[in-house]
């Protein structure tokens, strides 16, 4: 609990054992506001307990939004946790707009009514940042993709997830095809056909986009450009009409790079469609079914049974997320209320209707409460930490590559060229992607300069460095989330204009700078391993020659170690 200076001093507990009564409200219901005001005036409890933490209390009271701490914002998965927080805030804001009431009006009414009657207010909810961290850690990768996709596109449609999965798979599959395509029958002619169709399809899409901008806007312009580009690419791929021209303009290496990336992306998107079908079969991801929130009367939302149904729908979407967002908070709030009751206070608790049943169950049987130390602190996740494992493997592989080649007697000049290429491609892509996100040159330059190192260190990311420099010119606070919600709720502007204005919001700009800098470094690393390294390694006999030299280096290292210890 917290006691800011502008809140009344807590009253003394009444004689004898305390009591707790719970009101379940809808956070966007005028009827709930009136119910809360009446209950406080009639019952005159010692304390009014509200489902708020100190940060949300200050925000409801109209205090200036807190500036976000740079170190907290840029560490680990915090950027993604803010995306989750933004998503939840956006959903509540849209509900508030639909029913013409400010979200949280019930809690604000409880606080203000208590203060009018000289009654103390207790903040009994867990800190929102702690809740969001644990919420994000409990979600599966599929659930995270659906949530972030829903934030970006306004729906959690399975097609959105399919596109995202397809793009990620394609970026990995393209380089893999360049390395091992020959083993599965992919010839230079196939790469040439794919490169020609990809280049001409992209050119057609860009040209149509510019022409369509004269007559079309918003989604129709996007559909026209994508559809036209895909049609041109399909014709070129089927006829081979551009093969000779593209082959004469591009060298074999460029054809391999562009062709393999095109094949990878096409294959990835095809896999994404399959993923969309599977996700669609596993759970509802489209519009709300008949009888859902859009068709409910606002008064119905105050009924605990209806809100419980909504909570259970969320539990089906993400069981782990629901545990952190609902079940753990039920227990946390119940711990606070039991403590107040045991201290002899008569408490009126104002909580969301979806929490009422869980809290009252714990109040009836306090022995069933989980220990408080299991409800607080950072959640590390329950699955295998694949990200950390992959990062460690990459670090070991990078260092081993140079050490083994050196032990095999490869000249230092070659190793320096390889390192220089690694540094350059990481710098160009990390800085370039940062500039796409609107970063300043200084921020992009710093992110590019450290990208070579952070690519092989799982504990670091170039986006953090770019973000720290960018923050010297930005003031980021939680009020930015409200600004973003207003932009996303504006149905009068085309999507392109909305996205452009979102980049003017400091929080969104910072998130995009951090994320795209990291993406640029990842893409650069994949391209280096798949394209640049084989090209540089031709003087050593290509991939086979380098592999043999690394084996020789391992053998020489083993012999050196053996001689040293014996």
For residue 349, the SS3 value is strand
Residue 203 to residue 412: CA distance in whole angstroms: 42
How buried is 84 (Cβ within 10 angstroms: 0-12 exposed, 13-18 middle, 19+ buried)? buried
pLDDT higher at 514 or 150: 514
Q: What is the dihedral of CA 226, 231, 235, 238, to 10 degrees?
A: 80
The structure's pTM equals 0.60
Helical H runs in 21-157? 30-43, 54-60, 70-74, 78-98, 105-116, 128-138, 141-153
Residue 261 to residue 259: CA distance in whole angstroms: 5
Task: Please report where in the chains the tokens 């700009």 appear, as a residue.
Answer: 509
How buried is 380 (Cβ within 10 angstroms: 0-12 exposed, 13-18 middle, 19+ buried)? exposed
For residue 22, the SS3 value is strand
Per-residue pLDDT tens over the stretch 59-109:
777 665 555 555 555 555 555 556 656 665 655 555 555 544 556 778 888
DSSP for residue 477: B
pLDDT higher at 202 or 281: 202
Residue 48's alpha-carbon distances to 25, 200, 216, 288, in angstroms, are 14, 67, 55, 35
And the tokens for 406? 């050196």
Task: Please report where in the chains the tokens 């992607």 appear, as a residue.
Answer: 433
Q: What is the mean pLDDT of residues 511-535?
A: 80
pLDDT reading at 362 higher than 90: yes
Query: Is residue 5 very low, low, confident or very high in pLDDT (cuts 50, 70, 90)?
Result: very low
What radius of gyration, in Å, describes the C-alpha atoms of the chain? 29
pLDDT of the residue at 135: 80
pLDDT higher at 49 or 7: 49
Are β-strands 47-50 and 120-123 bridged in parallel, bridged antiparallel, or unpaired? parallel
Residue 224 to residue 209: CA distance in whole angstroms: 7
Q: What is the mean pLDDT of residues 439-461?
A: 83
Specify which of 67-76, 247-256, 431-440 reaches the highest per-range mean pLDDT.
431-440
Residue 157 to residue 159: CA distance in whole angstroms: 5
Q: What is the mean pLDDT of residues 390-412?
A: 78
Per-residue pLDDT tens over the stretch 307-350:
455 556 667 767 877 888 888 999 999 999 999 999 999 999 99
Residue 356 to residue 349: CA distance in whole angstroms: 9
pLDDT of the residue at 372: 92
Query: Is residue 292 very low, low, confident or very high in pLDDT (cuts 50, 70, 90)?
Result: very low
pLDDT of the residue at 370: 93
pLDDT reading at 180 higher than 50: yes
Nearest alpha carbon to residue 158 among 170, 167, 145 = 145
């Amino acid at each position: 609990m917290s006691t800011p200076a502008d809140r009344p001093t807590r009253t003394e507990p009444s004689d004898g054992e305390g009591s707790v009564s719970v009101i379940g409200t809808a956070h966007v219901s005028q009827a709930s506001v009136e119910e809360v005001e009446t209950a406080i005036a009639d019952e005159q409890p010692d304390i009014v307990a509200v489902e708020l933490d100190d940060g949300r209390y200050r925000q409801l009271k109209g205090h200036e939004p807190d500036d976000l701490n740079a170190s907290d914002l840029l560490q680990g998965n915090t950027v993604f946790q803010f995306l989750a927080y933004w998503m939840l805030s956006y959903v509540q804001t849209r509900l508030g707009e639909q029913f013409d009431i400010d979200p949280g009006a019930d809690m604000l009414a409880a606080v203000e009514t208590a203060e009018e009657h000289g009654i103390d207010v207790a903040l009994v909810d867990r800190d929102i940042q702690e809740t969001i961290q644990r919420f994000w850690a409990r979600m599966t990768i599929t659930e995270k993709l659906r949530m972030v996709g829903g934030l970006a596109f306004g729906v959690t449609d399975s097609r959105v997830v399919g596109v995202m999965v397809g793009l990620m798979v394609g970026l990995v599959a393209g380089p893999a095809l360049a390395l091992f395509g020959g083993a599965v029958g992919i010839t230079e002619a196939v790469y040439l056909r794919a490169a020609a169709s990809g280049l001409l399809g992209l050119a057609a899409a860009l040209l149509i986009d510019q022409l369509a901008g004269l007559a079309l806007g918003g989604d129709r312009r996007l559909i026209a450009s994508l559809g036209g580009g895909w049609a041109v690419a399909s014709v070129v791929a089927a006829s081979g009409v551009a093969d000779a021209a593209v082959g004469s303009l591009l060298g074999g290496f460029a054809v391999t790079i562009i062709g393999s990336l095109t094949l990878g992306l096409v294959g990835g998107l095809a896999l994404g469609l399959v993923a969309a079908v599977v996700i669609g079969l596993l759970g509802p991801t489209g519009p709300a079914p008949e009888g859902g929130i859009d068709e409910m009367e606002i008064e119905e939302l105050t009924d605990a049974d209806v809100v419980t149904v909504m909570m259970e729908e969320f539990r089906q979407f993400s069981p782990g997320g629901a545990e952190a967002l609902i079940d753990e908070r039920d227990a946390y709030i119940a711990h606070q209320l039991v403590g107040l009751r045991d201290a002899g206070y008569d408490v009126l608790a104002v909580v969301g209707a979806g929490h009422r049943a869980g809290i009252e169950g714990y109040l009836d049987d306090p022995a069933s409460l989980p220990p408080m130390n299991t409800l607080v602190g950072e959640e590390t996740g329950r699955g295998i930490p694949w990200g950390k494992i992959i990062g460690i493997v990459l670090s070991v592989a990078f260092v081993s590559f140079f050490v083994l080649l050196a032990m095999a007697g490869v000249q230092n000049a070659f190793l320096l060229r390889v390192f220089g290429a690694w540094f350059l491609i990481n710098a160009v892509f990390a800085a370039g992607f940062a500039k796409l996100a609107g970063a300043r040159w200084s921020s992009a330059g710093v992110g590019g300069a450290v990208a070579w190192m952070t690519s092989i260190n799982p504990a670091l990311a170039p986006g953090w460095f770019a973000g720290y420099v960018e923050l010297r010119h930005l003031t980021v606070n939680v009020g930015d989330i409200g600004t973003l919600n207003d932009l996303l709720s504006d149905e009068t502007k085309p999507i392109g204009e909305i996205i452009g204005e979102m980049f003017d919001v400091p929080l969104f700009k910072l998130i995009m700078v951090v994320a795209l800098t990291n993406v640029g470094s990842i893409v650069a690393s994949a391209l280096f391993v798949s394209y640049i390294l084989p090209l540089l390694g031709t003087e050593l006999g290509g991939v086979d020659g380098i592999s043999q030299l690394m084996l020789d280096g391992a053998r020489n290292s083993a012999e050196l170690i053996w001689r040293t210890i014996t």
